[in-house]
């Protein structure tokens, strides 16, 4: 009956893909519960290196049923391409299923994501321009088209006609661009429907059956807590909840079914897109981390902003998710630095504060208060036992545990599955 939720604890890109791929070796089901193809989960395993945008990272374990939950917005073209690419590389996708309630990304969502960003000019959010925000906006506005709708072509035509009439007014009258053709969009989505029909299910029943069989189920989050539309740096956030609460909604299970909540933290911080990031390093150290860790967006290729570990933000993220344990990833990257800094509080207008403000104007003014620790200055990617880590690396981890008040379950020291140190049991 155990369910482990794997949750991004910072601004996304924490390495959730690796953690899910690794834990999936022992699981029977993995449910991706939020976001869309704005996510890019990198997995390196015996099949090779993969960048998954929609398909759960458990797809490589043959016993795992993979579900794209109702909380995900699906671009069918991206999903079909991902299935094809996996099949071409010898990965079986016959155990992949899609919730009939998952909303679809439509061509106008992608167009509007770009047009809205351009209209914001200097205040652009820095979205991935995949149409994810407009698709979630339509879900809330009751203007969405869901995966299950593809199965009834007649009803789909009526639904699409109504919505496209409205969207074309926005496209032509507000943004002055060409309208989309109803027939073209319709025939394209009918084709997608034919291709995806075998995958579409009422997935909450499958989830319940797995839970009743007491199988290990993983909930795979996308993005990170600080991009949550409620608790993140609004409006510089994503549009669906990456929190464990989003896991309940986006997979279709109650909170009491979740046994463990694993927060995935990078050993430092990164952020891609706009918005406050108090520990950002706009200097040589930031550049060094970026180049060593190849911190460039998986989906967009944009350089990620790099900075020191922010324990104030991490404590906040732990509180709103109730993490029972932490996975610390990319610890190996810090191995060349002579000293390491951890942000333990913020200076705001001469006062010290220890909380992550809900106001971006306040966060922009916060100056990090750092604690300095000596670096271990040694490679650690070959190490598999916690005790074998250099003393200074263990000191760094112990300090993170203390500051975040969360035990470290596992440490990642490289991209491969085996480059993992299990410190304390997750379950
Ligand atoms: P959107 O989700 O494409 O609307 O983008 C909104 C914000 O979330 C932007 O700052 C993006 O860079 C960020 N974002 C979205 N998905 C990811 C992700 O998977 N990793 C990191 N940042 C992301």
**pLDDT tens per residue across span 38-64:** 999 999 999 999 999 999 999 999 999
Placement of tokens 């991902």 in the chain: 82
Task: Give, for 421, the enclosing helix (H) or strand (E).
Answer: strand 420-422
Asked if residue 71 lies in contact with residue 98, where contact means CB atoms within 8 angstroms, the answer is no
**The pLDDT of residue 1 is above 70:** no
In this prediction, residues 279-288 reach a mean pLDDT of: 97
Q: Under DSSP, is residue 255 helix (H, G, I), strand (E, B) or coil?
A: helix
With pLDDT > 90 as the criterion, what percentage of the chain qualifies? 98
Q: Is the pTM of this model over 0.95?
A: yes
Query: What Rg value do the Cα atoms of the chain yield, rounded?
Result: 22
In this structure, the residue with its CA closest to atom 15 of ligand 1 is 38
Chain mean position to CA 27: 20
Is pLDDT above 80 for 388? yes
The one catalytic residue in 21, 41, 103, 228 is 41
DSSP assignment of 301-322 equals -PBPEEE-EEHHHHHHHHHHHT
Sorted by sequence, the CB contacts under 8 Å of residue 191 that are 6+ apart come out as none
Distance from C-alpha of 115 to C-alpha of 118, rounded to nearest angstrom = 5
Among 400, 209, 408, 219, smallest CA distance to 313 is for 400
The model's pLDDT over 128-153, given as tens digits with 9 standing for 90+, comes to 999 999 999 999 999 999 999 999 99
- 109 as an active site residue: the answer is no
The residue-averaged pLDDT of 150-172 equals 98
Q: How confident is the model at residue 298 (pLDDT cuts 50, 70, 90)?
A: confident
Kindly give the distance from the C-alpha atom of residue 272 to the centroid of ligand 1, in angstroms, as a whole number.
Answer: 7
Q: Residue 28 is inside which H or E element, if any? A: none
Placement of tokens 């990319």 in the chain:
330
In the chain, % of residues over pLDDT 70: 100
- When pLDDT is cut at 50, 70 and 90, the band that residue 122 belongs to is confident
Sign of torsion, CA 383 388 389 394? positive
Q: Cα(86)–Cα(92) distance, rounded to whole angstroms? A: 7
Phi-psi region of 344 (alpha: psi -120 to 50; beta: other; left: phi over 0): alpha
Detail the DSSP E strand segments found in 148-250: 200-201, 217-220
Which residue's CA is minimally distant from atom 9 of ligand 1?
Answer: 127
Give catalytic status of residue 149 as yes or no: no
């Amino acid at each position: 009956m155990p369910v482990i939720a794997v949750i991004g604890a910072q601004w996304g890109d924490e390495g959730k893909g690796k953690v899910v791929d690794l834990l999936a070796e022992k699981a029977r089901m993995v449910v991706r519960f939020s976001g869309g193809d704005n996510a890019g989960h990198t997995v390196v395993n015996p099949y090779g290196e993969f960048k998954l945008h929609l398909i759960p990272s458990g797809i490589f374990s043959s016993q795992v049923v993979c579900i794209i939950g109702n909380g995900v917005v699906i671009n069918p073209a991206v999903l079909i391409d991902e299935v094809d690419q996996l099949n071409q590389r010898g990965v079986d996708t016959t155990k992949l299923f899609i919730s009939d309630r998952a909303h679809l990304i439509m061509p106008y969502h992608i167009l509007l994501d770009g047009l809205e960003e351009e209209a914001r000019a200097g205040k652009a959010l820095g979205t991935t321009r995949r149409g994810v925000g407009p698709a979630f906006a339509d879900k809330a506005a009751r203007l969405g088209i869901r995966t299950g709708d593809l199965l009834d072509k007649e009803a789909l035509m009526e639904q699409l006609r109504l919505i496209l009439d409205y969207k074309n007014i926005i496209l032509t009258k507000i943004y002055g661009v060409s309208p989309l053709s109803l027939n073209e969009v319709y025939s394209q989505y009918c084709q997608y429907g034919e291709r995806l029909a075998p995958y579409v299910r009422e997935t909450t029943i499958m989830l319940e059956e797995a839970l009743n069989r007491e199988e290990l189920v993983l909930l795979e989050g996308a993005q990170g807590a600080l991009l949550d539309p409620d608790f993140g740096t609004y409006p510089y956030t994503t549009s669906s909840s990456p929190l464990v609460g989003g896991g309940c909604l986006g997979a279709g299970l109650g909170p009491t079914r979740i046994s463990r909540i694993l927060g995935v933290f990078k050993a430092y911080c990164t952020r891609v897109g706009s918005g406050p990031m108090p520990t950002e390093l706009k200097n040589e150290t930031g550049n060094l981390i970026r180049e060593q860790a190849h911190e460039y967006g998986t989906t967009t290729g944009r350089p990620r902003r790099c900075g020191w570990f922010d324990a104030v933000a991490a404590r906040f993220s732990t509180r709103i998710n109730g993490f029972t344990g932490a996975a610390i990833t990319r610890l190996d990257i810090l191995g060349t630095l002579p000293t390491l800094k951890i942000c333990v509080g913020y200076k705001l207008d001469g006062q010290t504060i220890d909380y992550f403000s809900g106001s971006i104007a306040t966060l922009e003014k916060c100056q990090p208060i750092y604690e300095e620790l000596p670096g271990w200055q040694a490679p650690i990617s070959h190490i598999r036992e916690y005790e074998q880590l250099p003393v200074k690396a263990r000191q760094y981890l112990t300090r993170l545990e203390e500051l975040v008040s969360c035990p470290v379950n596992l440490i990642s020291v490289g991209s491969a599955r085996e480059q993992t140190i299990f410190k304390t049991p997750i379950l």
